[in-house]
Amino acid sequence: MTARDIPGIGDTGNPFGYVPPNSPDFVDHDDEKAAAIATNIEAAREWLDSFIDTAENEPTNIKRMQQCRFLLVSCLTAIEERAAK
């Protein structure tokens, strides 16, 4: 067994289930939550803009507007689910 085979700090999880914030194993899930919400908000804006653009410039393209609406609702649902956690 060499020194490379011995686990070091951060190589194993805490056996008691609690990881203090100053530990290298600590993961701040609030940051992940905020990033996921921000990503979904940006996607929702893009789909809304696409819907509006299609409605203004191609009012007969119902399929495109429906696709934008479905994906916009999907983004909004994802935002609500992330915020509720």
State the Cα–Cα distance between residues 67 and 61, nearest whole angstrom.
10
Q: Where are the domains of the chain?
A: 30-85
* pLDDT tens digits along 51-75: 999 999 999 999 999 999 999 999 9
Report pLDDT for 28: 63
Query: pLDDT tens digits, residue range 15-52?
Result: 556 655 666 665 666 678 888 899 999 999 999 999 99
What tokens were used for 7?
Answer: 């686990």
Secondary structure class of 82 (helix, strand, coil)? helix
Q: For the whole prediction, is pTM greater than 0.75?
A: no
